[in-house]
Structure 1
Amino acid sequence: MSQPHASSNLYTSPPAAQASTLDQARAVLKQVFGYETFRSGQETVIEAVLNGRDAVALMPTGGGKSLCYQLPALMLPGVTVVVSPLVSLMDDQVSAMQAMGVPAGAIHSGMQGAEVMQVLRDLQDGRIRLLYAAPERVLTPAFAERLQTLQVSLLAVDEAHCISQWGHDFRPEYGRLGELRQLLPHTPMLALTATADHVTRDDILQRLQLREPQVFQSSFDRPNIRYLVQEKFKPLKQVVEYVKAQRGVSGIIYCGSRKKTEELALKLQVEGVRSAAYHAGLPHEEKRQTLHGFLRDDIDVVVATIAFGMGINKPNVRFVLHYDIPRSVEAYYQETGRAGRDGVASEAVMFYEPGDAAWIWRLFDEQPDSERLRVERQKFQVMTSFAEAQTCRRLVLLNYFGEYREQPCGNCDLCLNPPQQYDGTVDAQKALSCVYRTGQQFGVNHIVEVLRGAQTQRIKQQRHDELTTYGIGKEQSAEHWVSVIRQLIHRGLLIQDIRRHSALHLAQNARPVLRGEIALTLAKPRIQAVAGAKVAERGMHDKVLFGRLRKLRKAIAERAEVPPFVVFGDSTLQDMATLLPTNPAQFLLVSGVGQVKLERYGSAFIAEICAYLDGEDSPHA
């Protein structure tokens, strides 16, 4: 990444004597970042940092962790050093800081030697206030020696859960970052992470050798994310329909295998969606181009394995879709958290069928027993309970993380469209009888075809078209019968034998239902996803103007060779399309507009808004 000289930046910090107050911090927040107020939890962390305290900030993805070191870097003397794990994250954050006039730089393996030398000269001459570096770099003897010659006011360790969660398997250098304490014994340290279990927290405190740190934990709630779980019937068709309905916005689709990512990405491309696959087995250059295109809004949808997403600083991802169920609530929370980091309405959609869970349980059964396996099984059990929940999804999620609430959220599929119950005794008898009469050796799809009277070759070969249950459910859709059978499996009335190609057979307690001795209440199938309008069309802002502002932003970003969100985020464009500012003073009232961005971009966006209000075409077309 080409980095301009830090001396070209416009921001000048206030005198140090005036810099240690929260009033001054709020002034910098408005002047540089363009925000009137801090997000929840930011102010207390920043206050601790300005007071020279070690601290740990546990905030959800999208909770604004970066500001907790970016703002103090502008108020403290000297330089703030940020240890960050991924090149793309560092480059994006440097670009974002420079766009606001903040003297920032990075040093990592993706840079040319001349670029590194220029950053080092700027650093030595005091022209950089915020330096990002990979853990491998800060621990080299040469760099460590250079740090000791500088006035380092703060050491920030981003993605600090890498210390514990992956340990030596992820980045061995993360486990050695405690050496920085001996290197710079009087410099306060700030650790930041979105993973907050007690084991990880204790590891962070111990390995970084933090001294009487203040630990701050924000709410795990992401109210702008709508959680949706849809029954998986024809998953490929369902995904394509959903993505096409969201056309033009950024999204991530997670799949359980590399093969699925490539198949689904190709299917979306055929349907006209700008999409690409991403997994660890692809060539490095192909992955780099996909990431570059995604960040710059040239690719709308990335279909990926879990290898994609950590550290990607793209705030305008409008949906995250899980094609397969994740292995744990932690993984699900982290992955869905990559949607809506800008606070704008977004969706987390998961397609689920019990067969997917059965396959993962089978994998567990094939592994030798161990403490790790027992933990993984327990975590997956909680994940399946979330997928099969009949109460507010958000409450289940927050309760798992120890944030107990009782009031339903009103923004998940179960709150928006509560499951409807009906007397399903007759439907259950039809399905159970069909399983019995076909010999208890066929899977779900075959039973559904018999119930609906399908004329397949297999049915004719088995002479199942001669059974009394043939066609007795033809008035209902295939999706209806799949849902009924899944509920019978979930109730323990049917058993799906994964060792015999998922063949169904009756459980002992199915007999009273078959004989009509007990009634059975079932939930009506949830065939349609509760997506409603296109995600990007939610909110009170002018949608047409928002579209014009997005085009202008893209054009400016392409000329500057930066991601569009570096110019302005979606939330800022929505605020423009609500407030309709037509002069610089009004433009400064827009959330996310600071003094530098007003000077750089204000005239172009004001002209676009004025032209729209006057009924004219874009002056930038």
Structure 2
Amino acid sequence: MDDGILHISIKDVTRGEYKLIYAHPEAFLSSKEGRKILQSSFFREHLCSICIDEAHMIHEWGEEFRKDFSRIQEILGIFPNVPVSLFTATASPSTRDKLVKDLALRDPLQITKNPDRPNIKYIRHERLPSVRQDDDLDEILGDIADGLLEDKEKFPVTIIYSDLETIRYGYRFLEARIGEDCPENRSYAQFHTHYTERMKNWIISDLGKQEPVTRVVLATVALGIGLHAPSVRRVIHFKSPTNIEKYIQETGRAGRDGKPATAILYWNKTDVRSNRPGLQSAMKKFFTSKDICLRAQLLSHLDFTPELQISKCNCCSVCEQYCECSECAK
């Protein structure tokens, strides 16, 4: 054991000393040792199942970011008779069809469940033009700083997704307004690829607690897959995703405990420009539509409809305009 990492022998893995092996694609496809494991006679004879979690990432990451994700079919080809299971919460019908084709799956059984999260309220705000985005940021972060200063223990745990430049600006803003000593004791944090592994691991561990010290995290999408943070009450997007699947994934990190939560999206015309790389038409519609329920739009993209009847004021910022419940009628 070294710095919390357990070092094991590749030979032990190859000989079948471990019954369950978790790995990322690179561990097998871009590693000489990983290839040895796949080619070993023991694995060829005894491997009984291949499970791929977050299967939508095969396409999201495989094309440009982490190319070994697009090579997973090579692993399946080595074990053509081993059952394969794919798991994802946000694959549209077209994505599912593409996965079946690209992974050469033979007549797969598809089991689907409505991904609706009725405890999350979706709110959309049009923000100022990008040349004035600091004014918007100052207002949003100013309210957050005031809330943390007033009572940080009761401040709703919040993840703010944006780009690296905005994250660094926001962190300096909160640092100037709130202060606090060492990073581990601060009520706010930043999380991105360039941050130290020690601090990233600390933040992930802290967010997994019922009452984390960290109440606000400014993050890129590096804070995502594998995160178990049931106490997150709000997810704010200041830099919007380019497709519906990513948005559902990222907003879905709020309210994992089933309690009421909020997903807030800030957008402007720069976000919907025609030359924005990877912008999905469904996402552009989600930004700009006037009178269409936000929840219904998200679910429609995945070929579902809202599962439960909830009050309009708890559904989204579009529906709440038409709510006539007793609370809204007051």
Q: What is the TM-score when the length of structure 2 is the normalising length? A: 0.73
1:402 and 2:303 matched: yes
User: 2:16 matched to which residue of 1?
Assistant: 124
Letter in 1 for 2:321: P
Distance (whole Å) between structure 2 residues aligned to residue 201 and residue 248 of structure 1: 39
The amino acid of 1:393's aligned partner reads L
Change (3 A) 1:221 1:2: farther
Question: Matches of 1:325 and 1:174 in 2, distance apart?
Answer: 24
Kindly indicate whether residue 99 of structure 2 is the aligned counterpart of residue 204 of structure 1.
Answer: yes
Alignment match, 1:510: none
The residue number in structure 2 matching 1:360 is 271
CA shift for structure 1 position 181: 3.1
Match of 1:141 among 35, 44, 47: 35
How far apart, in 2, do the equivalents of 1:391 and 1:242 lie? 32
CA distance in 1 between counterparts of 2:247 and 2:144 reads 18
Is residue 418 of structure 1 aligned with residue 321 of structure 2? yes
Q: Which residue of 1 aligns with 2:168?
A: 262
Distance 1:377 1:220, change over 3 A: closer
> Which whole-Å CA distance do the structure 1 matches of 2:282 and 2:47 have between them?
41
1:285–1:416 distance in 2 versus 1, CA, 3 Å: same
**Correspondence for 1:91:** none
Pick closer, same or farther for the CA change 1:152–1:228 going to 2, 3 Å: same
Structure-2 change in CA distance of 1:357 and 1:143 (3 Å): same
Equivalent residues of 1:235, 1:323 under 8 A apart: no
State the shift of 1:377 in Å: 6.2
Output the CA distance in 2 between the equivalents of 1:281 and 1:193: 28
Amino acid in the other structure paired with 2:117: R
Q: In 1, distance between residues paired with 2:81 and 2:111? A: 21
Partner of 2:235: 320
Q: Say how many residue pairs are matched.
A: 296
Residues 173 and 111 from structure 1, CA distance in 2 versus in 1: closer, same or farther, beyond 3 angstroms?
Answer: farther
User: What is the distance in 2 between the residues matched to 1:416 and 1:204?
Assistant: 35
- Structure with the larger RCO, 1 or 2 (CA within 8 Å, 6+ apart): 2
Counterpart contact for 1:228–1:347, Cα < 8 Å: yes
Structure 1 vs Structure 2 CA RMSD: 3.7
8 Å Cα contact 2:126-2:268 kept in structure 1: no
Q: Distance in 1 between matches of 2:264 and 2:108?
A: 38
Partner of 1:276: 189
**Which secondary structure state, in structure 1, belongs to the residue aligned with residue 26 of structure 2?**
helix
CA contact (8 A) 1:278 1:302 kept: yes
Match of 1:222 among 117, 134, 155: 117
* TM alignment of 1:516-535, pairs within 5 A: none
Aligned to 1:309: 224
State the secondary structure of the residue aligned to 2:12.
helix
**Residue of 171, 194, 201 corresponding to 2:66:** 171
Q: Amino acid of the residue matched to residue 309 of structure 1?
A: G
Answering whether residue 96 of structure 2 is matched by residue 188 of structure 1, we say no
Q: C-alpha displacement at 1:190, in angstroms?
A: 0.1
Instruction: Deviation per CA, 1:34-91: give whole Å up to 9, x if none.
Output: xxxxxxxxxxxxxxxxxxxxxxxxxxxxxxxxxxxxxxxxxxxxxxxxxxxxxxxxxx
Q: Is the 8 A contact 1:294 1:302 kept in 2?
A: no
1:324 & 1:216 partners in 2: Cα distance?
Answer: 33
- After TM superposition, give the deviation of residue 157 of structure 1 in Å: 0.8
- 1:334 correspondence with 2:254: no
Distance change in 2, residues 1:227/1:245 (3 Å): farther
1:544 alignment counterpart: none
* Rounded Cα–Cα distance in structure 2 between residues aligned with 1:391 and 1:149: 52
Q: 1:237 aligns with which of 116, 122, 142?
A: 142
Taking only the aligned residue pairs, the percentage that are identical comes to: 28
**Structure 1 residue 338: Cα displacement:** 1.3
The AA in structure 2 aligned to 1:120 is D
Distance 1:300 1:409 in 2: 28
The 1-side partners of 2:146 and 2:299 are apart by 30
Would the aligned equivalents of 1:148 and 1:184 in 2 still touch at CA under 8 Å?
Answer: no
Q: After superposition, where does 1:20-169 map in structure 2 within 5 Å?
A: 111=5, 115-117=7-9, 120=12, 124-125=16-17, 128-139=18-29, 140-146=34-40, 148=43, 151-169=46-64
SS at match of 2:49: strand
C-alpha change, 1:157 and 1:328, in structure 2 (3 Å) is: closer
Structure 1: gaps (5+ residues): 4-109, 368-372, 421-529, 531-621
1:251 maps to 2:158: yes
1:345 to 260, 284, 295: 260
Report the alpha carbon displacement of residue 191 of structure 1 after superposing the two structures with TM: 0.9
Amino acid at match of 1:145: Q
Residue type at the aligned position of 2:123: L
AA at the equivalent of 2:299: L
Q: State the match for 1:92 in structure 2.
A: none
**After superposition, where does 1:473-484 map in structure 2 within 5 Å?**
none
Counterpart contact for 2:286–2:294, Cα < 8 Å: no
> Which letter does structure 2 place at the counterpart of 1:384?
F
Structure with greater proportional helix content? 1
Q: Distance in 2 between matches of 1:118 and 1:342?
A: 38
Q: Which is higher, the Rg of structure 1 or of structure 2?
A: 1
Given that 2:16 and 2:43 are in contact with CA atoms closer than 8 Å, whether structure 1 keeps it comes out as no
> Which position in structure 1 is the counterpart of 2:131?
none
